[in-house]
Structure 1
């Protein structure tokens, strides 16, 4: 298949590189020194087993207009970057092009093909002006949850740290021919790719920990295990997660694991800096709206109070306003 990775950073580059190694026709959209290194030397993947592979993509560019129509477009840009890139995406489409949303937090499409009482409601925290939805037809969208950890160790070089799972799901829960085809391509590339009929539950399970640990990490500079082991921050995370759990249950979500299991799982990740902490340290805008702001919005929608979540959200927003 022709697959375009829009945002070939750490996760996008890992996906694109492994798909190219598996024989897919891969285009990477990147920028700056990272793009220049890929164009000059190829993309180097340093894999979990210690081996290294250099990949030559079909095309590496920062200009989407240079790219022909694709079978699959994987959006691997940060959540807060989707709105800017969305108007450029239609040039990548043919009639059957799939758009896979590989972002953290809540996607703009959460209540599309939802089937519940909130069907059709737009999340203002994620797509306030409706720009994303205007340029990405909902029938193209494939939901996904990314569980890999990777980093760009130098321009053109990506280190795969952990994780192989890349969960997919149609928004209406059906198991279509197209999603099975996509899953097979990802499996051939070495990913574990279950196809779920409840992709929103998968989104919630990952977000459940992220909505607490990411902003606490960003505010304190602490790693995941440090937050989980320090009694006061563990209790703060727990209270935030309890508020989110009430919202999720109101929306029909069953996590399938206990709150303590989720916190313990986060602790086991170890001395890991969250993506939000990395963004703050680098002076980049965070994904606070999709990870935390959207939960507050859903709390208001379901009339469930979120005082702990709102306090941490306000603190991160102030940090962004004064730091950048």
Structure 2
């Protein structure tokens, strides 16, 4: 492994995390190394004041307890746009709360917010941040999350990322990391290696160049996280390999997240104690397992955990409550499109129906719409 000094940048690198939840704050903290000319900033919303005042307190299983003071903290995306306005006036004592965005733009824009394409066009929201030097990185759940960004930024390198981490923000500005730190990274061109651009112009060389640049950025990020941030399991992949990992993780997300809501609040391990729910979870995973080869052009590789292995591992993680259940209980929108809707539509376009996922999607979308109608009536 190269020494940390070998990663030092001759010019400052400015990285902006859009989203200051548990996952974003953890990975941002392992990427921020001012001594190596790598500066990480955050946009925050409800926890802005806490982070702008005291930074982020991290209680981690992997690295002990420490405080992450970002280079700058912004209360919104618009406040992080370079050269758009002077830094906001503030009475907060942390210097990070009064720093302006870098004048020459962001080198990396890392999106860690929930993917809710039915609620907002996040690619449009971050567009003012993106310049010719920028790379967009998406650390989000589900499949099909990259497509809106590729359509809006056809020439911009995009890195797609999948995480396996157990982390929670136990209060504003305080993050607890419980288990795992794996992050898998890969470039994104148009979805699969060798596929020509989706906009119909057939410019394969142009698409390949975007993937090549995305591959360079993928390797750079992984090197920083590994050599400087101490993440032993920051892994790089080809475009096809990364999409395969996305579809494989869907086995877990599509099986347990929706079922936690529809079963009345049962966590992942608790679901498996019920015989019928166990059969249901395995059925959802098998459906993803059958659909993936039609979408990806090849079966899941043998080293990826089978549905049976996933179930055995899940049984040992007692007490885990999936994010979709937490969002439902808090009255927040659910990641229905990227975890259920997109897979159903993508598989259908490849000639495969996914009836179990389609049923989960239809039921949860109807439940969410009914709850929102009720809330609307209560406000009248």
Q: If the length of structure 2 is used for normalisation, what is the TM-score?
A: 0.74
> Structure 2: how far apart are the matches of 1:262 and 1:319?
28
Deviation at residue 157 of structure 1 after TM alignment? 0.8
Question: What whole-Å deviation, never above 9, does each CA across 1:218-238 have from its counterpart, x for those lacking one?
Answer: 222111111123210111111
Cα distance change on mapping 1:181 and 1:15 into 2, 3 Å: same
Distance 1:39 1:262 in 2: 40
Aligned equivalents of 1:16 and 1:44: distance in 2? 12
Larger RCO (alpha carbons 8 Å, 6+ apart): 1
User: Is 298-307 or 215-224 further displaced after alignment?
Assistant: 298-307
Residue 138 to residue 76, structure 1, CA distance change in 2 (3 Å): farther
CA displacement 1:271-306 (0-9 Å, x = unmatched): 200010010011000101100111211232123232
Alignment of 1:235 onto 2:279 = yes
Structure 1: gaps (5+ residues): 111-126
Please list the CA deviations of residues 175-230 of structure 1 after superposition, one character each: whole Å capped at 9, or x if unmatched. 83332111111112122211012111111111112111110012221111111232
Matched, 1:247 2:291: yes
Alpha-carbon distance between aligned partners in 2 of 1:107 and 1:151, rounded to the nearest angstrom: 25
Say if 1:228 and 1:264, in contact at 8 Å, map to a contact too.
Answer: no
Instruction: Report how far residue 28 of structure 1 moved.
Output: 0.3
Name 2:215's counterpart in structure 1.
Answer: 176
Q: Which residue of 2 aligns with 1:16?
A: 28
Equivalent of residue 195 in structure 1, options 230, 236, 243: 236
**C-alpha spacing 1:215/1:78, structure 2 compared with 1 (3 Å):** same
Specify the SS of the correspondent of 1:27: strand
Q: Which residue of 1 aligns with 2:15?
A: 3
- CA contact 2:115–2:145 (8 Å) conserved in 1: no
Helix, strand or coil: the match of 1:165?
strand
> How far apart are 1:21 and its partner, in Å?
5.5
RMSD of equivalent CA atoms: 2.2
| Residue aligning to 2:258 | 215
For 2:217 and 2:325, the matched residues in 1 are separated by 36
Measure the CA separation in 2 of the matches of 1:208 and 1:233: 15
Change (3 A) 1:138 1:165: farther
Deviation string, structure 1 residues 228-261 (Cα, Å, up to 9, x no partner): 2321011111112222222101122432332211
- Tell me if structure 1 keeps the 8 A contact 2:134–2:156: no
Q: How far apart are residue 18 of structure 1 and its match?
A: 2.4
Q: 1:93 aligns with which of 126, 130, 133?
A: 130
1:22, distance to aligned residue in structure 2 (A): 7.3
**Equivalence for 1:31:** 45
41-50 or 178-187: bigger deviation:
41-50
Partner of 2:179: 162
Q: CA deviation at 1:155?
A: 0.8
C-alpha distance 316-60 of structure 1, shift in aligned 2 (>3 A): same
> Given that residues 144 and 166 in structure 1 are in contact (C-alpha distance below 8 angstroms), is that contact kept between their aligned partners in structure 2?
yes
Out of 146-155 and 172-181, give the one that drifted further. Answer: 172-181
Corresponding residue of 1:296: 344
CA contact (8 A) 2:294 2:347 kept: no
Given that residues 73 and 98 in structure 1 are in contact (C-alpha distance below 8 angstroms), is that contact kept between their aligned partners in structure 2? yes
SS in 2 for 1:8: coil
**SS of alignment partner, residue 170 of structure 2:** strand
Say if 2:77 is the partner of 1:64. yes
The correspondence of residues 72-83 of structure 1 with structure 2, limited to 5 A, is: 72-80=108-116, 83=120
Larger radius of gyration: 2
Structure 1 residues 298, 193: closer, same or farther in 2, change over 3 A? same
The answer to whether the Cα contact below 8 Å between 2:136 and 2:156 also exists between their aligned partners in 1 is no
User: TM-score scaled to structure 1, two decimals?
Assistant: 0.86
Contact 1:296/1:310 (8 A) holds in 2:
yes
Structure-1 separation of matches of 2:247 and 2:146:
14
Q: State the secondary structure of the residue aligned to 1:80.
A: coil
CA distance in 1, matches of 2:236, 2:247: 16
Asked whether the equivalents of residues 104 and 291 of structure 1 are also in contact (C-alpha less than 8 Å), the reply is yes
Match of 1:119 in 2: none
Query: How many residues were matched structurally?
Result: 303
